[in-house]
């Protein structure tokens, strides 16, 4: 059975609006980022026709191929682990990179962005749960990394990203989302110059409503839009 992408997007937007209403937030303060790992350009085109403008990719090469087809109709976000040797390609493909978790990667991105005369928007990926299988910097060292990254002229720190452990119960994700929000607030209180803490990228198909209730400004939705990954 063919997935009705437009209908799924409409349903997700309704759920975003309902979650926003529960915590007295405006629905348009939350960006719906469609996760397009393994999704074809044809399906991405249908999502664009249904009103989506932002897409998240996990791999540089896969994103490069899709950007070549889709073109400037979309904003592209890197949400997967980024190898330092791929930074030179990433700066030419993505508008945002959500997965900065180490200084050597930040320095390489800064250098590559400077060479093409751009300033790259980045989020710092935080491993709030402490799971060894997840990427991201530990919460207790995030402020130190952000202080160091803030000195790089060609990177613009826009906020934080995390991924909660998988659970069949969305409520089990809440404490991790609360933890990221609290970390964001702690960072704001430090008064680090040259950064913005406007974005919290957290919440996926199974738990995005809880993430919104805890302050998410970007939710990363793949399966609930495009169906099960093939």
With H, G, I as helix, E, B as strand and everything else as coil, classify residue 210: helix
Sequence-distant (6+) residues with CB within 8 A of 211 are 173, 177, 200, 202, 203, 219
- Mean pLDDT for the stretch of residues 219-226: 98
pLDDT tens digits, 167-197: 999 999 999 999 999 999 999 999 999 999 9
What is the residue extent of each domain of the chain?
Answer: 5-226
pLDDT tens digits, 136-176: 999 999 999 999 999 999 999 999 999 999 999 999 999 99
Q: With CA atoms as reference, report the closest residue to 206 among 164, 176, 178.
A: 164
pTM: 0.96
Asked whether the CA dihedral 106, 131, 183, 164 is positive or negative, the reply is positive
What pLDDT, on a 0 to 100 scale, did the predictor assign at position 230? 67
- Mean pLDDT for the stretch of residues 13-32: 98
DSSP 164: P
CATH of domain 5-226: 3.20.20.10
pLDDT value at 118 more than 70:
yes
For 51-79, b where at least 16 C-beta lie within 10 A, e where not — what string?
A: ebebbbbbbbeebbebbeebeeebbbbbb
With H, G, I as helix, E, B as strand and everything else as coil, classify residue 96: strand
């Amino acid at each position: 059975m063919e997935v009705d992408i437009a209908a799924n997007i409409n349903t997700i937007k309704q759920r975003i609006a309902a979650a926003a209403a529960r915590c007295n937030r405006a629905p348009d303060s939350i960006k719906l980022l469609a996760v397009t790992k393994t999704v074809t350009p044809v399906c991405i085109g249908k999502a664009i026709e249904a009103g989506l403008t932002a897409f998240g990719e996990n791999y540089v090469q896969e994103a490069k191929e899709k950007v070549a087809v889709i073109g400037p109709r979309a904003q592209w976000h890197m949400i997967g682990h980024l190898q330092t040797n791929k930074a030179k390609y990433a700066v030419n493909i993505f508008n945002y990179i959500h997965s900065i978790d180490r200084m050597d990667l930040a320095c390489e991105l800064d250098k590559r962005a400077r060479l093409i005369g751009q300033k790259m928007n980045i989020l710092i990926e935080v491993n709030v749960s402490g799971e060894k299988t997840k990427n991201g910097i530990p919460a207790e060292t995030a402020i130190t990394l952000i202080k160091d990254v803030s000195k790089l002229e060609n990177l613009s720190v826009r906020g934080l990203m995390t991924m909660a452990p998988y659970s069949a119960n969305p409520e089990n994700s809440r404490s991790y989302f609360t933890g990221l929000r609290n970390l964001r607030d702690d960072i704001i209180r430090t008064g680090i110059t040259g950064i913005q803490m406007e974005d919290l990228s957290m919440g996926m198909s199974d738990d995005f409503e809880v993430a919104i209730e805890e302050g998410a400004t970007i939710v990363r939705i793949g399966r609930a839009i495009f169906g099960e990954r093939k």
